[in-house]
Chain A
Amino acid sequence: MDCSCARALIELYLDDELDREQAAALEAHVDGCADCRGALNGLGEVRRALRDESLRRPAPQALRDRIGADVQAQRPVRNSRARRSAPWMRYAAACLLAFGAGGISLQAWNRLHGTTERTQLARDLFASHWRALAANSPVDVVSSDRHTVKPWFAGRIAQSPPVRDLVEQGFPLVGGRLDYVGDSRVAVLVYRHGHHLIDVYMLPSPATGPVATTAQQGYTLEPITLDGQRAAIVTDMDLQELARFERLLRQ
């Protein structure tokens, strides 16, 4: 890869829009080219500036209430008993009515619903990661030795998770823990890179839908398949490091 090609791909690389092969080729070039590394670092700085928390503000409660009230007023069943019904019943009623009115196709509804489930999964994973960061210790079993961590999960969880030794590549194992995602118990492997903690969640296969790459408040969720099992990485590392970690995990 030459410099002009690399420059054209740098932003796609940062935006995670390159396939693995292209990303690896770009990394190889950038490793040996100070100019392109400078360009990458400059753009990385712009990204860091833009990801400053102060730039994203939650919607004001007044707006949420206003739309919430409109939605309530629009709900089809209006007697007081229905209003007190469980959220799932209201949801189901909305579903039925949407079908009845022919408002959206079944396929569209499934897609919409799938999105909701995925978002719920992403929310669970972020929440678990943040909970772990706030706790005294982010792990239940503390060990940098994968031969200690892996057996710890045996008997606690059906499928023993793949554990990698990446200390030489700069991602030492911190330990493991059990956590809940939805209502399933999942194994979490915790690695460290500098000051960043990395959680690798082993997801129960049939119970959850696919996960999409999601960013929230400087944290990234990245789906990955490890030894045929579905997993998700949650961390606040920057995206280049995350991509490198992903590749190492897959090996």
Chain B
Amino acid sequence: MVAGHAWVGDLALQHLDAAYNLARWVLGNESDASDAVHDAYLRAARAAHTYAGGDARAWWLAIVRNCCLARLSARRREPSLEQAEGARLIDTLLRTADDEVEARASAAQAGRQVERALQALPVEFREALVLREIEGLSYREIADVLEVPIGTVMSRLSRGRALLQRGLGIPMQEALHGL
């Protein structure tokens, strides 16, 4: 490894919680998340010379995300597990919507319900929501991390929220005619 890119280490450590959370939500698994973030740090240290200014946190989180997506696609090569898990999550999501009243009985339970609902979302909606709502990034910053236009960020957030709202059994305002 090239010495002298210690600033990357400082950057990674400074935004380690954000990186870990993003990885945990993308991968849905804590030990994979740790490994992906460590991979990302090594990659960032090697790629330090490619950093061309701008939002350093977004640069770092974009590398973390790419490492997570690489792991996801490696995982997809073993599809049986993934599919079984997907079916189970959708099932859980439907059931939690039915049991909504009961599930809201305690705050802790509500937390678990939203956790399941969020985990059941397609990854492109989930990651946008995690960056916006849990990490507090602006549209511009999210666009930098996901490497997509701001309009795409907006539509992913919007669709993700609508799916979550339904999944959590929060009443939806009827769509307007002509919208």
Contacts and interface: CB of A to CB of B under 8 A. Distances in A.
Contacts of A16: 138
Interface string A62-85: 111011101100111000000000
A124 to B, nearest CB: 15
Nearest to B37: A63
Contacts, number: 179
B173 A47 contact: no
B19 interface: yes
A76 B3 contact: yes
Interface residues on A, range: 35 or more
A58 B20 contact: yes
B118 interface: yes
A50 interface: yes
Contact of A59 (B19, B111, B135): B19
Contacts of A100: 4
Interface of B: 1-7, 9-14, 16-17, 19-21, 24, 30, 34, 37-38, 41-42, 45, 48-49, 51-57, 107-108, 110-112, 114-115, 118, 129, 132-136, 138-139, 154, 157-158, 161, 164-165, 168, 170-174, 176, 178-179
A42 B4 contact: no
A248 interface: no
Contacts of B52: 105, 108
A31 interface: no
A103 B1 CA distance: 13
A51 B133 contact: yes
Contact of B6 (A3, A97, A109): A97
A86 interface: no
